[in-house]
């Protein structure tokens, strides 16, 4: 496991990182470092951009933090497991929570889909990206999950790669051992590691019957039960991501052999 420096603040910067580079701070970043964290010129923080790994940087500026001087690398860039979290959007705070937890659990892409019973039809993608960045900053994550625009469920299914494993979490599925089901699905047809995984969590009203029928017709689809109790959508997302990571992802120590993007 990599060594993390939990004592140093971390900041995402959308700029190339290399030794000697000076990166200008945005106003909100300057305020955060100077007024919230009470840091000043000469103090050190950790920075990352999702591409060039993690670096130690020194704060520069006369009266307040204005820029960062990139000093030395601390961790090389990593790759996330190729796990897309596909979900029916929820309202505000619960959507924030769901995005943050998906990032913490290692999802590499976030894809909202609109279903018959979806509660929310409009999604603030900028707010989702802000939650992705905040979770990555707080949890030592170097790669940022991609944030996609919402699409209807049928359109998403029509454009997804057919070689990817679709884990369709269904409250109507027969209860069975989910870890065994995931491992058996990955090993089917001699494929030890699937070519990417899409985890689909529906709305709290459940999938409509025509949607369920459409999902069951998709190639490489695993209809997965998350246990004998009905879970809220945000809870189901965390449970499903934990199961997939434990069975097939980097929790199992096998992501480096193929399930990465």
pLDDT range class, residue 23, cuts 50, 70, 90: very high
Whole-prediction pTM: 0.89
pLDDT range class, residue 88, cuts 50, 70, 90: very high
**Interhelix angle for 92-104 vs 125-139, to 10°?**
40
**Given 44, 75, 106, which residue is the final one in a domain?**
75
Please report, for the domain that includes residue 43, its CATH number.
Answer: 2.40.240.20
Are residues 146 and 102 located together in one domain of the fold? yes
Are residues 117 and 188 located together in one domain of the fold? yes
**Given 57, 75, 93, which residue is the final one in a domain?**
75
As a whole number of angstroms, the distance between CA 207 and CA 22 comes to: 51
As a whole number of angstroms, the distance between CA 218 and CA 214 comes to: 7
Neighbour count for residue 28 (Cβ, 10 Å): 8
As a whole number of angstroms, the distance between CA 108 and CA 102 comes to: 9
Length of the chain: 261
Are residues 25 and 91 located together in one domain of the fold? no
For all residues of the chain together, what is the average pLDDT? 89
Mean pLDDT of 27-39: 93
Task: Dig out the tokens for 216 from the structure.
Answer: 């069951």
Asked if residue 255 belongs to a domain, the reply is no
pLDDT number for residue 187: 74
pLDDT number for residue 92: 81
Domain with 66, as residue range(s), is 10-75
Q: Report how many domains make up the chain.
A: 2
pLDDT digits (tens, 9 = 90+) for 194-225: 689 999 999 888 889 999 999 999 988 888 88
Mean pLDDT of 212-239: 90
pLDDT number for residue 261: 63
As a whole number of angstroms, the distance between CA 107 and CA 145 comes to: 6
pLDDT number for residue 63: 83
Task: Residue 85: name the closest of 148, 41, 34 by CA.
Answer: 148
More confident site: 258 or 118 = 118
Are residues 208 and 109 located together in one domain of the fold? yes
Q: What is the DSSP string of 70-123?
A: EEEEEE-----BSEEEEE----HHHHHHHHHHHHHTT-SEEEEEE-TT-S-S--
Any residues with CB less than 8 A from the CB of 124 and at least 6 apart, and which? Answer: none
As a whole number of angstroms, the distance between CA 162 and CA 141 comes to: 29
Please report, for the domain that includes residue 125, its CATH number.
Answer: 3.40.1280.10
Asked if residue 181 belongs to a domain, the reply is yes
As a whole number of angstroms, the distance between CA 211 and CA 222 comes to: 15
pLDDT number for residue 230: 86
Mean pLDDT of 73-99: 93
pLDDT number for residue 256: 42
pLDDT number for residue 3: 64
The answer, yes or no, to whether residue 16 has pLDDT greater than 50, is: yes
pLDDT number for residue 84: 96
Are residues 185 and 107 located together in one domain of the fold? yes
pLDDT number for residue 225: 86
Asked if residue 5 belongs to a domain, the reply is no
Are residues 67 and 88 located together in one domain of the fold? no
Sign of CA dihedral 212, 215, 220, 222: negative
pLDDT digits (tens, 9 = 90+) for 140-197: 999 999 999 999 999 999 999 888 999 998 887 777 788 888 888 777 755 556 689 9
pLDDT digits (tens, 9 = 90+) for 99-130: 999 999 999 999 999 999 888 878 999 999 99
């Amino acid at each position: 496991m990599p060594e993390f420096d939990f004592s140093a603040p971390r900041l995402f910067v959308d700029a190339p990182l290399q030794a000697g580079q000076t990166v200008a701070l945005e106003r909100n970043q300057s305020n955060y470092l100077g007024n919230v964290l009470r840091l000043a010129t000469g103090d050190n923080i950790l920075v990352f951009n999702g591409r060039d790994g993690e670096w130690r940087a020194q704060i520069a500026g006369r009266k307040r933090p204005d820029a960062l001087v990139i000093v030395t690398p601390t961790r090389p860039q990593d790759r996330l497991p190729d796990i897309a979290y596909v979900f029916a959007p929820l309202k505000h705070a619960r959507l924030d929570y769901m995005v943050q937890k998906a990032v913490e659990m290692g999802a590499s892409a976030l894809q909202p889909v609109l279903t018959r019973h979806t509660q929310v039809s409009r999604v603030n993608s900028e707010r989702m990206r802000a939650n992705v960045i905040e979770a990555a900053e707080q949890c030592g994550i170097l790669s940022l999950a991609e944030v996609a625009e919402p699409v209807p469920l049928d359109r998403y299914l029509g454009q997804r790669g057919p070689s990817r494993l679709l884990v369709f979490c269904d409250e109507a599925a027969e209860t069975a051992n989910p870890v065994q089901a995931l491992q058996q699905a990955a090993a089917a047809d001699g494929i030890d590691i699937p070519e990417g995984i899409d985890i689909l969590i529906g709305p709290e009203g459940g999938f409509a019957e025509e949607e369920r029928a459409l999902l069951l017709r998709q190639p490489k689809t695993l209809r997965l039960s998350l246990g004998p109790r009905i879970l809220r959508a945000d809870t189901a997302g965390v449970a499903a991501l934990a199961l997939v990571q434990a069975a097939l992802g980097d929790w199992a120590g096998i992501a480096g052999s193929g399930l990465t993007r």
